[in-house]
Amino acid sequence: MKKTGSLTLFLLLFNLFIAFLGIGLVIPVLPTLMNELNISGQVVGYLTAAFALTQLIASPLAGKAADKFGRKRMIVLGLFIFGLSELLFGFGKTIDVLFISRILGGLSAAFMMPAVTAFIADITDETSRPKALGYMSAAINTGFIIGPGIGGFLAEIGTRVPFYSAGVLGLVAALCSTILLREPERQEVPKDDRQQQSSIRKLLMPMFLIAFIVIFVSSFGLAAFESFFSLYVDHKFSFTPSDIAIAITGGAILGAVFQVVFFDRLIKWLGEIKLIRVMLVLSAILVFLMTVVHTHWLILGVTFVVFIGFDLIRPAVTMYLSRIAGSDQGFVGGMNSFFTSLANVIGPVIGGILFDIDIDYPYYFATVFIILGLVFAMFWKEPKRQF
């Protein structure tokens, strides 16, 4: 990749890092906000769902907009909305304002994700794309990982300081992107009947549909795993908060390392589809193992490794989609974000219902769901025609 391309990629990754850092900032201050505003845990759950639902609804439209109006415009607009949403959350003194803030946050994520994915596809070739997409996933995960830690540190200064900081960073990133980003040249793609088809018809094409099913399955499994991990190990193994933090942070860091260091090599060795199948098998086994391991170190070991499977599936699917999408980069980016958001809404809801019945049931269900995704993936074939 050329030096200018490297600078552009760095700026894109930094934008994603800032956005997902801001999402994580809210976690350590939620208990304080609950006390300040006298809101229940159920309302906090609705706040979380508001973000995901907005992203779910807006992502397909945002993906098409990235194709129509340009990648840069959607990224800059998404960053400005993100900055405003964080500032609004910081200034908000009523639950209505907080809901508006989370809705705007979901809108910003919907605008950014498809556009960034399409942008990366435009500025890379098949040789450099795997590494770039691995970096993209690592940037997202790193933002999630350190967001709660930074939020907790800044909250020592003031409860609202994390949100003010994220808001300012978002607006600065938007200004930098306005100045430094240049709309990429899109790869010339031979015109074909697919470009005239509706989004629904494209979605139902096997080469797209199976990939989106895999995205939904892996995101659902990860959401079900993460959402109830702290409650699960607290109820079953009496983990302390520090134990939980070590398990999740260690696993996320290990997953990010594999994305950056090994993803490119694994893609060259196995290809996207075979790698996805292997990681689905690994994820299913490890999620099930959570219900049978009983020692502290084995639990930590399973948690560390399970993130590798989930964290390699997403960039592999994203790379496959970007390779076959042709002129539909925004479309596949939007649907990628849509199915991720759908899983993030449904996964915790079903997991919560099952958890109240038996604490092992969410993991049994997630295991079966991942195996079902593997069955679909076994019928997955490379499209005969490359676009």
* Beta carbons within 8 Å of 250's beta carbon, 6+ residues apart: 300, 303, 304
DSSP conformation class of 183: P
Amino acid at 60: P
**Residue 153's pLDDT is what?**
75
**Residue 327's pLDDT is what?**
66
Separation between Cα atoms, residue 192 and residue 228, nearest integer Å = 46
**Residue 5's pLDDT is what?**
67
Separation between Cα atoms, residue 207 and residue 375, nearest integer Å = 15
Find out whether 326 and 189 touch, Cβ atoms under 8 Å.
yes
**Residue 63's pLDDT is what?**
80
Separation between Cα atoms, residue 325 and residue 216, nearest integer Å = 18
- E strand spans, 264-304: none
**Residue 2's pLDDT is what?**
52
**Residue 155's pLDDT is what?**
76
Find out whether 289 and 107 touch, Cβ atoms under 8 Å.
no
**Residue 245's pLDDT is what?**
65
Q: CA separation (Å) from 227 to 339, 345, 348, 358, 364?
A: 17, 11, 6, 15, 14
**Residue 4's pLDDT is what?**
55
**Residue 274's pLDDT is what?**
92
The Cα angle at residue 363 between residues 207 and 48, in degrees rounded to 5: 75
Neighbours of 268 (CB within 10 A): 10
Separation between Cα atoms, residue 323 and residue 386, nearest integer Å = 8
Q: Number of C-alpha atoms within 13 angstroms, CB side, residue 337?
A: 33
**Residue 194's pLDDT is what?**
47
Q: CA separation (Å) from 213 to 115, 317, 336?
A: 21, 10, 10
Separation between Cα atoms, residue 203 and residue 380, nearest integer Å = 15
pLDDT in tens, the chain (387 residues): 555 567 888 889 888 888 877 766 766 676 677 677 777 656 766 776 788 788 878 877 888 888 888 889 999 999 999 999 999 988 888 888 988 998 998 899 889 888 888 888 888 877 777 778 777 877 876 776 677 667 777 777 888 888 898 899 889 989 989 998 888 876 555 545 444 455 667 777 777 888 888 888 887 877 777 666 766 787 788 877 667 767 777 777 787 788 778 888 898 899 888 999 999 999 899 999 988 988 888 888 888 888 788 778 878 888 888 777 776 767 777 787 778 778 877 777 777 778 778 888 888 988 988 898 899 888 888 776 444
